[in-house]
Structure 1
């Protein structure tokens, strides 16, 4: 009861904050005045869009709708099945766009020669489009995993998992593949990418300190390292938040699905509920990260928020002058 009450309060607040936050992030990034490269901007735009879709489809149309609107057209079986597919696709895109962004920044920091070919807007478009299509196709089988709960006036209502999916070797194998793809594989990849990035940064910093100490002109400024520093702060903040908020979900999968502990106890439900809450929370944090880490993003957002007020004041000033 406590968890249900908590979720009934938490998820509406998450929606109220998450939708405008992601919309603001999309609008600000779309103006391309944040001092970011084209490829970085497109990855961040894709992440904000995927996060917004997760908030709308998973949080609003599924969780909140279940609590406050238990009877609606969303529970018609075909609609419910399509929603299941979109829930999986948007969540996985949100996760894997973060991985693609982390890999793009790793290439930009680690491989200077490859950077000019890989870290481009065209490559980002191809990567993002391919990722979206693949995960949409991957989740289509879940449409056929659902079956109606009852029929009313020749309309099929509700969605429940087919009993055969728990014993059919094909379905069992596919569900394991689904869990490995998200969250195990991306969680491991983002840890690996960040570890390699940190290792390269440490080595590069030592070399540059030695070279700077040998310089005779007394100039201690290092524009390249300053540029890398800003990129690294953004990368590590986003990926670090991702790791933090997805850890419980990964632990829950390992303990329940792999080790088999807590499989029939209240602990499994609690762990699953907390993990789900934290991974959904991850879908409204990025805009706040941009505000904290990117000064030009803050300035652009402030300009957008104050523009209507400035326009009204200018209009009133103009009318006052005309009346005089």
Structure 2
């Protein structure tokens, strides 16, 4: 939670050397990831396991929390996809770049994605009944374009791109794109594997909290890794973006600076 809040604050300041379009996407992803941790991690998982007799176990709260988990998780997923598409257009479609990769378009895409997913998941609220009653893009194509464009640029310049800011930006795009996309795919792989296992075997999802059951351990491990994909983006930014690291240091030192002043 703290890491995502720091990412939201740092990216919102707009001092990381990123375009307004990229900043909007990354802030939106960080916000959705933060909400995933709140709804899926704290309310749904921790609350449901450790406070079984609380209001969180009522049909109303259970249905509402599940719908929020599904909706916010889907928003996080599709915003990541939208950001990948935006990076593809920036790198591979120069004629479309000036019209599509703008702050206004980014806000429009973020709003449409969020609204459509909320509308899609809203009907699930009415699908729950009480269990008991008590008292009543692929990124390969993008990378190929980056490498081909980089080779062409080196030939045109006749140098090895030392001091070429455009080449530096391309390398940063590769690192950021690979890091976010691969971590997303790897952390979702177990969840997809469990989903296919349930569909093929017809065993269904386990609702009883049997911590010694291997199927339950597999199910919850898949859920844990899938939710973890919404927690690690801030660390990816810290590794991939030098200016983000610099802004992070400034934010972390701010309380001490205020005291010394």
Q: TM-score, normalised by structure 1?
A: 0.73
SS in 2 for 1:33: coil
Q: Does 1:226 align with 2:168?
A: yes
Match status 1:135 vs 2:80: no
Pairing partner for 2:7 from 10, 25, 39: 25
Selected match of 1:124 from 99, 106, 111? 106
User: Aligned to 1:235, which of 167, 177, 202?
Assistant: 177
Distance in 1, matches of 2:3 and 2:119, equals: 29
| Per-residue deviation, 1:261 | 4.3
C-alpha distance after superposition, 1:54-110 (max 9, x if no partner)? 100011001101222112222222222111111100010111111011110110011
**Structure 2 residue aligned with 1:281:** 228
Q: Which runs of 5+ in 2 are unaligned?
A: 207-212
Once residues 267 and 139 of structure 1 are traced to their aligned partners in structure 2, the CA distance between those partners, rounded to angstroms, is 30
1:265-309 Cα offsets, whole Å, 9 max, x none, are 966544332221111111110111111111111111111111111
Shift in Å at residue 120 of structure 1?
Answer: 0.7
The answer to whether the 8 Å contact 2:44/2:66 transfers is no
Q: Please state how far the C-alpha of 1:311 moved relative to its aligned partner.
A: 1.1
Inter-partner Cα distance in structure 2 for 1:210 and 1:296: 29
- The answer for the alignment partner of 2:249 in structure 1 is 302
Alignment of 1:1-324 (within 5 A): 19-154=1-136, 190-191=137-138, 194-213=139-158, 220-257=162-199, 260-261=200-201, 263=203, 268-314=215-261
1:64–1:251 distance in 2 versus 1, CA, 3 Å: same
How many correspondences in the alignment?
254
1:40 to partner: Cα distance: 0.5
- Say which one has the larger Rg: 1
Q: Contact conserved, 1:57 with 1:86, CA < 8 A, in 2?
A: yes
Task: Work out whether residues 39 and 121 of structure 1, in 8 Å CA contact, stay in contact via their aligned partners in 2.
Answer: yes
Aligned partners of 2:14 and 2:111: how far apart in 1? 20
Could you tell me whether the CA contact under 8 Å between 1:212 and 1:220 is conserved in 2? no
Q: Distance in 1 between matches of 2:196 and 2:133?
A: 38
Q: Summarize deviations over 1:164-184 as a string: whole Å, max 9, x none.
A: xxxxxxxxxxxxxxxxxxxxx
The separation in 2 between residues aligned to 1:219 and 1:83, in whole angstroms, is 52
**Structure 2 contact 48–57 (Cα < 8 Å) conserved:** no
1:284 match: secondary structure? coil
Comparing 262-271 with 86-95, greater Cα deviation is found at 262-271
- TM-score relative to the length of structure 2: 0.90
- Where 2:116 maps in the other structure, the secondary structure is helix
Cα RMSD between the aligned structures?
2.1
Inter-partner Cα distance in structure 1 for 2:54 and 2:157: 67
Greater helix share, structure number: 1
